[in-house]
Amino acid sequence: MNRIMEEEGYIKRRTAEGHEFEPFSIMKLDMDDVDEMKALESEIMAGLASPDAFSPDEKEDILEDMKNGAMIFGVFVKGRLRAYRYISFPKRTEANYGRDIELKGEELDRVVNFTSTIVHPEYRGNRLQRKTMKHALEQLRGTEYRYLISTVSPINYYSLKNMIRSGFVIKKIKRKYGKIADEIDGKMRYILFRDINDDMVKRYSKTIVVNNTEIDLQKNLIKNGYIGYDVDELDEFGDYKILFGVPKPTDIKSMEAKDA
Ligand SMILES: CC(C)(COP(=O)(O)OP(=O)(O)OC[C@H]1O[C@@H](n2cnc3c(N)ncnc32)[C@H](O)[C@@H]1OP(=O)(O)O)[C@@H](O)C(=O)NCCC(=O)NCCS
């Protein structure tokens, strides 16, 4: 099958001695690739320190999403899928992450779920999470899609840091992906948000520095109008600090104007 090449170049593969450069290409996956995608996901899941950090995607859901326009950007090295980014357009379905931050009606139609990203451990450090984000954003330019939303575990420092560096902010913290219901048996997740029609750099007041493990404090801050907007370095215990602040009034005004 002829695929459209989105990008090609060289990336580093980690080896016992250091690293080697290898050619890579980024291409959109199609339905025939979903088994390879699931195989990579299983390999990564097996290597995770905590299974709570990542929620696997069901094959049936991926195929259904693809029928509805979902895009998956795959990074191939020597013909093998080594990383991917998966975005979907959930419209008014229950899967729409906009529901977690109280988006309603037509706002839900403009949501893009940034569903998952995976990079094989040998290729981490090539900024592939952000590289594939760039391709996703290019595809959204000039479309009706506006609200980018993602979920990240508070114990998934590297993913959170990459999302915040890509312009997302923490809008909520709650349990997600429960078998019974989100808040009953779900896993703790940040709901990360970016409005691509409002990419102006925000300023925050009343900044408070919070540890990622202080879940109740973060919930309370958010309830009181705070947003998580930056992360510090990872410490020796695997924890890190997050900066929460209240968007400055001028920014709130411009947000309200846009929503009106
Ligand atoms: C999150 C993830 C996609 C980031 O991969 P990436 O794009 O290669 O990360 P970066 O290139 O930004 O890495 C920056 C640095 O952090 C390190 N790093 C990235 N992910 C790491 C991880 N999971 N554990 C330890 N170090 C990691 C990189 O080695 C690099 O270090 P360096 O600067 O010293 O070389 C990857 O860690 C991953 O696949 N994790 C498992 C799946 C997951 O949690 N996905 C996100 C939720 S959907």
What is the C-alpha to C-alpha distance for residues 175 and 186, in angstroms, rounded to an integer?
Answer: 5
Question: What tens-digit pLDDT sequence spans the chain (260 residues)?
Answer: 568 889 999 999 999 999 999 999 999 999 999 999 999 999 999 999 888 899 999 999 999 999 999 999 999 999 999 999 999 999 999 999 999 999 999 999 999 999 999 999 999 999 999 999 999 999 999 999 999 999 999 999 999 999 999 999 999 999 999 888 888 889 999 999 999 998 887 899 999 999 999 999 999 999 999 999 999 999 999 999 999 999 987 655 555 544 43
Residue ranges per structural domain of the chain: 5-199, 203-260
**Which residue's CA is the nearest one to ligand 1's atom 37?**
158
- What is the DSSP annotation of 68-85? TT-EEEEEEETTEEEEEE
What is the C-alpha to C-alpha distance for residues 236 and 234, in angstroms, rounded to an integer?
Answer: 7
The residue whose CB lies within 8 Å of the most ligand 1 atoms, and thus the one to mutate among 133, 158, 166, is 158
| 158 touches ligand 1 (CB under 6 Å) | yes
Task: Determine contact, residues 248/202, Cβ cutoff 8 Å.
Answer: yes
Per-residue pLDDT at 22: 98
15: β partners: 18
Asked: is 5-199 a CATH 3.40.718.10 domain? The reply is no
Output the pTM of the full model.
0.93
| 128 touches ligand 1 (CB under 6 Å) | yes
Could you tell me which of 175, 153, 174, 156 has the C-alpha nearest to residue 218? 174
Residue 123 CA, ligand 1 centroid: distance in Å = 9
Question: For residue range 221-244, what is the model confidence (pLDDT) as tens digits?
Answer: 999 999 999 999 999 999 999 999
